[in-house]
């Protein structure tokens, strides 16, 4: 296993970080989070195409650049750091679902438009219960002529109200557990599909509830065989989000440190007080541990490591705890100003909280670790 | 030899094929190894090395392990002594000590801490005075692992009481086998006695055993401490004796048994994370949802710390120097040890209270509980590690100092009030 990034990866990260610092200052994040979808299609398209971001981890034969999961995670870490409001995570995970669950023909027909930045996609699997476990799926898919009709609902769908293409996890009527699950692709404009933005606490990540009434949809891959590719997709979702989270956690830590170095009380900077220094040392340790796990998980996925599922869950649980704890410390270090709307800390605090819950909380992921390692 | 993995591997393999013989004596073999440069390949060519980049050292280790070749002596304080002498010692000191440290003929101890200076190592009051043509040393040192076996001690002593605190210190190599040095074992809360108190009364140090210059003692001590903290990142593998029958392995087994004696409870001190899963399965605690969550939390921390140490090592192998990052690993190791001890208690229940041969894992579980408190103290307390991280890594302002701006003789003495 490699424990360092290559010179090319470092350069890619450096360029991306500089560009985001320029184009996505917090002022711009605040402007976008007040818009209807939380981001702007044209602005995102320009950034995406300029950097080829959506194409990064899509295989070359489907119009992508064919880079690894590690490169995708570098983008996510930088996006988490700058808190970029964009449909990047949603589209990237939908592409992974197509890669793992679709047939060769499905991949050839859907991935090129995603790689080109023309299709914004999302994966709809959780429902009102708010769990991402495949077995909890209740939305049904009924065969109708040569196609399928979807009935039911999905919830907590990232960028679900604005996406062009919805990947839907559905089950055959009468099936239970992980049997009878299939992956479908539904067009956002399909008849019978209603999409409602949910009133979210974290305005930088939009979630939607979708209701399906006889929505025509296309089966991807083999009917009834979606449980395994979905599980793999969720493993990658955990690792991907872990990398996004450590980017945000590090930014919070650095900003809190900069503030402590500048804030004067009792005739000295508060950074000179031992209580602040010990807190910052603890924050550095937590963030560095979480970064190591997030990087390791990305590498484990790229290398097909047999521990990848446990490691991805470890990274997600570790990053969630580190991010939220760092956010709590960051607000505390800022004092009263840290509790105001004008101070930026709450933007990351909210992202930390929403990321902790998304794709399963720490308890859920720790149980996945134990199912892998304790047999 | 080119500095590429394949070239180094080929050269090392060829040399070992021509020279390795398990029927040689241990010291004889190590001298051959040292002369070849393969014993300390990252060291300079002039001093028993090959000037190899640190990143290629694992290749040499792999080649030696592949055929079971015995390496140079590495256990104990000798590694810190060698690193310090290599960085700051005179040519005479390098000649006299480096080879014999690597052959295992000389053993070392570290004489820094005193009853009155624990965290405040620079507050040392052991005094060294030049009388006639020798340094004469008087004072008391403590927490000295293996002092009763050591041939040489790395000694921090005050040479100038009119200088400021950190400037009045000097660093010496003390001959431990002399009448002025008395060693007494110190019994610990876990019943072991791997530390000692060392009483120094008119002990003599010849002038050529001063390391660096008079007044450089603190700088040299910092080098030793950084290497010590780096060793606390949890990646160190404990010396394992090979069971093979040839002469060299017999001699190595005897050496390891002696050298590792004071360290035999150290795995317990670190919390024995490796024993948690087997114990949880063995006791059935693995089915308890609270235990499962706590175990997963601990594994998250332990694995993340291991990967962090590997990241730090990979960065170092790419040519960045050894820095205070070692303190991160040491702090993580403290958290892990404490959490592991609590979880062992939860998993073993009342049986965790039992010691002796009939108890769980012949007393190992109980020994973990009474050994872990050392982790967050030895080698620099957690509080000192946090100061180091904050001040040296994060560049936060130092504490206002009230003891380093005046001659040391005017500073209030460290004591217990």
Residues B138-175 have pLDDT tens digits of 999 999 988 999 999 999 999 999 999 999 999 999 99
Report d(CA B43, CA B35) in Å as an integer. 12
Residues A61-86 have pLDDT tens digits of 999 999 999 999 999 999 999 999 99
- Domains A121-224 and A228-373 are alike in CATH topology: no
Report d(CA A317, CA A309) in Å as an integer. 12
Check B304 against A282: CB less than 8 A apart: no
pLDDT of B321 > 70? The answer is no
Domains of chain B: 78-230 (2.40.110.10), 270-378 (no CATH)
Residues B185-226 have pLDDT tens digits of 999 999 999 899 999 999 999 999 999 999 999 999 999 998
Residues A232-262 have pLDDT tens digits of 999 999 999 999 999 999 999 999 999 999 9
Report d(CA B94, CA B82) in Å as an integer. 8
When pLDDT is averaged across residues A111-121 and rounded to a whole number, the result is 97
A233-262 residues touching B, CB cutoff 8 A: 257, 260-261
pLDDT confidence tier of residue A311, bands split at 50, 70 and 90: very high
pLDDT of residue B231: 67
B301-330 residues touching A, CB cutoff 8 A: 301, 303-305, 307-308, 310-311, 313-315, 318, 328
pLDDT confidence tier of residue B260, bands split at 50, 70 and 90: confident
CA angle B41–B47–B49, rounded 5-degree value: 10
pLDDT confidence tier of residue A215, bands split at 50, 70 and 90: very high
Check A3 against B314: CB less than 8 A apart: yes
pLDDT confidence tier of residue B413, bands split at 50, 70 and 90: confident
pLDDT of residue A16: 96
Select A121-224's CATH number: 2.30.40.10, 2.60.40.10, 2.40.110.10, 1.20.140.10: 2.40.110.10
Q: Which residues of A touch B331 (CB under 8 A)?
A: 281, 285
pLDDT of B296 > 70? The answer is yes
With tokens 């290749």, the residue in question is B59
Q: Where are the domains of chain A?
A: 7-115, 121-224, 228-373
pLDDT of residue A273: 96
Check A288 against B281: CB less than 8 A apart: no
pLDDT of residue B144: 93
B379-398 residues touching A, CB cutoff 8 A: 383, 385-387, 389-391, 393-394, 396-398
Minimal C-alpha gap between A128 and chain B (Å): 25
Percent of chain B with pLDDT over 70: 95
When pLDDT is averaged across residues B124-144 and rounded to a whole number, the result is 97
pLDDT of B241 > 80? The answer is no
pLDDT confidence tier of residue B324, bands split at 50, 70 and 90: low
pLDDT confidence tier of residue B416, bands split at 50, 70 and 90: low
pLDDT of residue B323: 59
Report d(CA A132, CA A183) in Å as an integer. 14
pLDDT of residue B118: 87
pLDDT of A194 > 80? The answer is yes
pLDDT of residue B325: 66
Q: Provide the whole-model pTM.
A: 0.91
Ranges of H-type helices in chain A: 7-23, 26-33, 41-51, 69-82, 88-101, 104-115, 227-262, 274-302, 308-334, 345-357, 362-373
pLDDT of A136 > 80? The answer is yes
When pLDDT is averaged across residues B33-52 and rounded to a whole number, the result is 96
Class of the A7-115 domain? Answer: mainly alpha
DSSP string, B172-221: EEEESSSTTEEEEEE--TTS---EEEEEEEEEEE-GGGEESSTT-HHHHH
Q: Does A31 touch chain B (CB under 8 A)?
A: no
| A·B CB contacts under 8 A | 117
* Phi, psi of B232, deg, nearest 5: -95, 15
pLDDT confidence tier of residue B101, bands split at 50, 70 and 90: very high
* Phi, psi of A214, deg, nearest 5: 50, 50
The CATH superfamily assigned to A228-373 is: Butyryl-CoA Dehydrogenase, subunit A, domain 3 (1.20.140.10)
Check A374 against B396: CB less than 8 A apart: no
pLDDT of residue A137: 98
Cβ atoms of residues B98 and B82 within 8 Å: yes
Minimal C-alpha gap between B103 and chain A (Å): 33
pLDDT of residue B71: 95
With tokens 């979480």, the residue in question is A290
Check B299 against A373: CB less than 8 A apart: yes
pLDDT confidence tier of residue A295, bands split at 50, 70 and 90: very high
ipTM: 0.95
């Amino acid at each position: 296993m490699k424990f360092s990034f290559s010179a090319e990866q470092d350069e890619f990260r450096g360029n991306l970080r500089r560009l985001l610092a320029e184009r996505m200052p917090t002022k711009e994040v605040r402007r976008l989070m007040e818009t209807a979808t939380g981001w702007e299609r044209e602005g995102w398209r320009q950034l995406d195409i300029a950097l080829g971001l959506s194409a990064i981890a899509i295989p070359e034969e489907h119009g992508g650049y064919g880079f690894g999961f590690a490169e995708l995670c570098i983008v996510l870490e930088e996006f988490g750091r700058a808190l970029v409001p964009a449909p990047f995570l949603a589209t990237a995970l939908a592409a992974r679902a197509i890669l793992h669950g679709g047939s060769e023909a499905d991949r050839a027909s859907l991935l090129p438009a995603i790689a080109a930045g023309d299709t914004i996609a999302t994966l709809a699997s959780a429902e009102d219960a708010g769990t991402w476990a495949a077995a909890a799926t209740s939305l049904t898919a009924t065969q109708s002529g040569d196609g399928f009709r979807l009935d039911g609902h999905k919830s907590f769908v990232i960028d679900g109200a604005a996406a062009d293409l919805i990947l839907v996890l559905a089950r055959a009527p009468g099936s239970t557990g992980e049997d009878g699950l299939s992956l479908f692709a539904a067009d956002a404009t399909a008849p019978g599909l209603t999409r409602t933005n949910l009133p979210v606490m974290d305005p930088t990540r939009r979630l939607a509830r979708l209701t399906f009434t006889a929505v025509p949809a296309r089966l991807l891959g083999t009917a009834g065989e979606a449980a395994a590719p979905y599980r793999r997709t969720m493993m990658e979702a955990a690792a991907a989000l872990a990398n996004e989270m450590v980017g945000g956690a590090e930014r919070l830590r650095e900003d809190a440190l900069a503030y402590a170095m500048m804030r004067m009380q009792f005739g000295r900077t508060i950074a000179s007080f031992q209580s602040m220094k010990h807190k910052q040392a603890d924050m550095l340790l937590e963030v560095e541990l979480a970064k190591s796990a997030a990087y390791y998980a990305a590498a484990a996925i790229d290398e097909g490591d047999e521990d990848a599922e446990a490691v991805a869950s470890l990274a997600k649980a570790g990053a969630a705890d580190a991010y939220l704890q760092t956010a709590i410390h960051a607000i505390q270090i800022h004092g009263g100003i840290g509790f105001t709307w004008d101070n930026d800390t709450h933007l990351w605090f909210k992202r930390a909280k929403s990321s902790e819950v998304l794709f399963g909380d720490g308890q859920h992921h720790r149980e996945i670790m134990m199912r892998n390692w304790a047999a | 030899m080119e500095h590429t993995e394949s070239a180094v591997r080929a050269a090392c393999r060829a040399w070992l094929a021509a020279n390795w013989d398990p029927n040689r004596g241990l010291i004889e073999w190590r001298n051959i190894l040292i002369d070849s440069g393969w014993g300390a390949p990252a060291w300079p060519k002039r001093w028993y090395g090959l000037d190899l980049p640190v990143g290629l050292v694992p290749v040499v280790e792999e080649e030696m392990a592949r055929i079971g070749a015995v390496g140079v002596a590495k256990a104990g304080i000798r590694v810190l002594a060698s690193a310090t002498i290599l960085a700051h010692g005179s040519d005479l000191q390098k000649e006299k000590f480096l080879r014999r440290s690597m052959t295992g003929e000389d053993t070392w101890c570290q004489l820094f801490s005193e009853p009155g200076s624990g965290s405040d190592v620079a507050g040392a009051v052991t005094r060294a005075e030049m009388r006639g043509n020798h340094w004469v040393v008087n004072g008391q040192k403590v927490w000295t692992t293996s002092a009763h076996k050591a041939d040489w001690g790395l000694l921090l002593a005050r040479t100038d009481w009119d200088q400021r605190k950190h400037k009045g210190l000097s660093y010496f190599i003390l001959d431990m086998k002399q009448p002025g040095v008395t060693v007494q074992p110190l019994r610990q809360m876990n019943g072991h006695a791997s530390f000692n108190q060392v009483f120094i009364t008119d002990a003599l140090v010849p002038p050529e055993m001063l390391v660096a210059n008079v007044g450089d003692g603190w700088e040299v001590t910092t080098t030793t401490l950084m290497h010590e903290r780096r060793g606390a990142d949890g990646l160190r593998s404990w010396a394992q004796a090979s069971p093979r029958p040839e002469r060299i392995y017999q001699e190595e087994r005897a050496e390891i048994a002696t050298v590792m004696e004071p360290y035999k409870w150290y795995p317990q001190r670190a919390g024995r994370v490796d024993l948690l899963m087997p114990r949880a399965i063995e006791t059935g605690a693995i089915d308890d949802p609270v235990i499962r969550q706590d175990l997963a939390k601990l594994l998250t921390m332990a694995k993340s710390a291991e990967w962090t140490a590997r990241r730090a090592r990979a960065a170092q192998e790419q040519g960045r120097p050894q820095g205070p990052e070692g303190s991160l690993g040491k702090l993580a190791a403290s958290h892990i040890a404490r959490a592991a001890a609590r979880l062992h208690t939860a998993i073993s229940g009342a049986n965790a209270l039992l010691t002796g041969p009939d108890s769980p894992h012949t007393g190992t579980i109980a020994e973990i509980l009474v050994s872990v408190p050392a982790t967050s103290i030895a080698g620099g307390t957690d509080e000192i590690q946090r100061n180091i991280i904050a001040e040296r890594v994060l560049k936060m302002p130092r504490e206002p100092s009230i003891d380093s701006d005046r001659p040391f003789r005017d500073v209030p003495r460290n004591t217990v009030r």
